[in-house]
Chain A
Amino acid sequence: MTEMLSGGEILIRALQDEGVEHIFGYPGGAALHIYDALFKQQRVEHILVRHEQAATHMADGYARATGNPGVVLVTSGPGATNAITGIATAYMDSIPMIVISAQVPHEVIGTDAFQETDMIGISRPIVKHSFIVRTASEIPWLVKQAFYISTTGRPGPIVIDIPKDTTDPNELFEYSYPDSVSLRSYKPALKGHSGQIRKAAVTMVKAKRPVIYAGGGVVQGGADEELVKVARLTGFPLTNTLMGLGSFPGDDSQFLGMLGMHGTFEANNAMHHSDLIIAVGARFDDRVTNNPAKFCPGATIIHIDIDPASISKVITADIPIVGPAKPVLKELHTALEAEMVKHPIDQSSLDEWWRRIALWRQEHGLDHDQRERKSESGQLLPQQVIQAVYRATQGEAFVTSDVGQHQMFAAQYYKFRQGRQWINSGGLGTMGFGLPAAMGVQFAVPDATVVCITGEGSFMMNMQELSTCMQYALPIKIVNLNNQALGMVKQWQDMQYGGRYSHSTYSDALPDFEQLIRSFGHHSFTANSIDELDSVVDEAFSPKLKDKLVFINAYVDPDEHVYPMFVRGGSLEDMVLSKGLA
């Protein structure tokens, strides 16, 4: 017997059939037929946000924590435009996401109708693909395609724009959901080219100063294990991009830390002086390469990436390998094993290489305990807060961050153990991402400890979601590195603009965070010193408050800078290491 459903019901049924459990959204006129269909069912839980941007970041956090696409539902016009920042964030970091935007009815499209906006046009440069629904009967096929395209190849966000008339409750259509999808114009690579992989193995065993440079593609591709195996087999040093953190254990001796603009001294130096770079799921972003013309002058480049367009975009690859990280690394491991029987790795060169790396570590490592350092003003240092959170969570929390100094401190000082544990907006650099992303993670993994490391500037960009946290009793731990300024902007103004703080401070206009947080029924603590920090962090992460949202307002030294920092226009070895050298 065929089922007859309205367009709104068809949409929700298709999402159910796709295995969707959560939708993050906000209702409005053009979306009301869909919302009525949601009301009449139990299988999909809808999370009511306070701003559509937050809905997209929640779906994004949800996707980053699980690998499954996050789903967003917004109304037309402002609902759709509010979602744009979150879609761009997901696009830049290759996150699978389905954004369903309601649209005004077909008959008024193009008439500047109330709450009409050309969502397909506005979102075009920041989506992997988009669809506009012409008739309700095509909804199942479009939803199927959307999920397929979003999650395969290089993942990304998909917009489905649904004019209100196609969800009319009075027009019924037969429902059936397609089993499979195949598109003649979209055939993502499922494995790498075996010849190229063998060539990579042959090159790797000959290297004297190799570095493995692993990025977000390893995390998104679930290839942590394969990455670790290749690193263990070869004994090569490994560095992660900001997006790749967690794909290799952060406390491992083979790990050089993050590379890039605020990467470690040893990671950037090792890259610069290497003779072979094995890039996996990384895209040679400008925050990694510094000046591409001066990038790693002596290095041969092996570049493994799922997206052919990422290869040789910035830095020309000598051995390009197009394919998903997991099967490519697996095959590379096998090829290396075979090659190493014939040509063992030059161990004495590798040992010598590790000795050089050890010297860089010694010269300026992040290993030293920040506790022993005193800030110029005697105030709490942001790094100390991250280390305290790391200890309290035993390195096992999901950590989201916003954007700025706190993000870099978190990346440097929280040693992640697994991929998906570290969730931040790397490509777009979206302030306001942290709290909603943490909420999405908490929905995905209800029992996990989820920490949002933020700064007061970023936090205030989406703090309305404290109300959503109250509604759904989300026990997120928010750690606010409060320096009463836009810290990273201020750092640049210190270093490049003679300390002229153009619109980067607002210390006399900040709310009383304790009162603010408590007004939403949450818990809040303040830390001013290292002694207060320990007791506050212990209490915040104590079993007693496990089910509560806790906000730690840590007043940190407003003059602290993030180091190392690239010298602009230089190579990877050109770094400023402290204020004195600036």
Chain B
Amino acid sequence: MRRLLAVLLENEAGALSRVIGLFAQRNYNIESLTVAPTEDPTLSRLTLLTEGDDEKIEQVTKHLNRLIEVVKVNDLTEGAHIERELMLIKIRAEGNGHREEVFRTCEIFRGDVVDVTQDSYTVQLTGPTKKLFAFMRAIGETSILEVVRTGVSGISRGDKILEL
């Protein structure tokens, strides 16, 4: 099962490497990982996408909590939550017809063209991972030149917050 974990971590040198090391050491998988400091500069927040059944996620959570610098761990997939990911995608766009089509597809998906050359568009697209994949399918493999994704960031819906 796909799980999205939110982790509050002391914003200290080496803290992130302990989280990543733990996943390698215990043979857990990281699908994607995003991390940056929060509004409190002493804390970093990670969103970590992994796979596992309830038992496995319980172990992952316990082992994360065992790391001294981990302040809080929450499995976002346990409740209603929002997931977003940002993608920058460079698309081959040659000839008027093709350029038009790419541009239209981009508009349908509410992407922004952030760079243009005679042969290409670079598009910025945000949304759940599913939407990014749908866009890539719509564009077609042969037109995609380069893709860079940030990985998923997540937050709970409603009043629920992850705090100290």
Contacts and interface: CB of A to CB of B under 8 A. Distances in A.
A132 B62 contact: no
Interface in A375-407: none
B95 interface: no
Nearest to B58: A312
B37 interface: no
B68 A186 contact: yes
B164 A184 contact: yes
A125 B25 contact: yes
Contacts of A546: none
Contact of A309 (B10, B14, B62): B62
A184 B164 CA distance: 8
Contact of B10 (A121, A130, A185, A307): A185
Contacts of B110: none
A312 B14 CA distance: 29
A183 B62 contact: no
Contacts of A120: 14
Contact of A308 (B65, B68, B69): B65
B157 interface: no
A307 B17 contact: no
A149 interface: yes
Given A124-B17, A308-B62, A129 B68 contact: yes
Contacts of A185: 10, 68-71
A91 B13 CA distance: 23
A313 interface: yes
A333 interface: no
B21 A125 contact: yes
A309 B66 contact: yes
Contacts, number: 36
Contacts of B62: 308-309
Contacts of A309: 59, 62-63, 65-66
Kindly name the residue among A121, A186, A316 whose own CB sees the greatest number of chain B CB atoms within 10 A. A186
Contacts of B55: 312, 316
Contacts of B69: 185
A183 B65 CA distance: 13
Contacts of B18: 124
A13 interface: no
Contacts of B70: 185
A530 to B, nearest CB: 48
Interface string B53-77: 0010011001101101111000000
Interface centre among B14, B25, B62, B68 (most CB of A within 10 A): B68
B63 to A, nearest CB: 5
A149 to B, nearest CB: 6
A120 B18 CA distance: 10
Given A124-B21, A185-B10, A307 B68 contact: no
A472 B156 CA distance: 62
A120 B71 CA distance: 21
A272 interface: no
A149 B69 CA distance: 12
B68 A128 contact: yes
Given A185-B10, A312-B58, A149 B68 contact: yes
Contacts of B71: 184-185
Nearest to B42: A184
A307 B118 CA distance: 61
Interface string A59-86: 0000000000000000000000000000
Interface of A: 120-121, 124-125, 128-130, 132, 149, 183-186, 307-309, 312-313, 316
24 contacts: A120-B14, A124-B18, A124-B21, A125-B21, A125-B25, A128-B68, A129-B68, A132-B14, A149-B68, A184-B164, A185-B10, A185-B69, A185-B70, A186-B68, A307-B66, A308-B62, A308-B65, A308-B66, A309-B59, A309-B63, A312-B55, A312-B58, A312-B59, A316-B55
Top 7 A-B pairs, shortest CB-CB distance = A309-B62, A185-B71, A129-B68, A125-B25, A308-B62, A124-B21, A186-B68
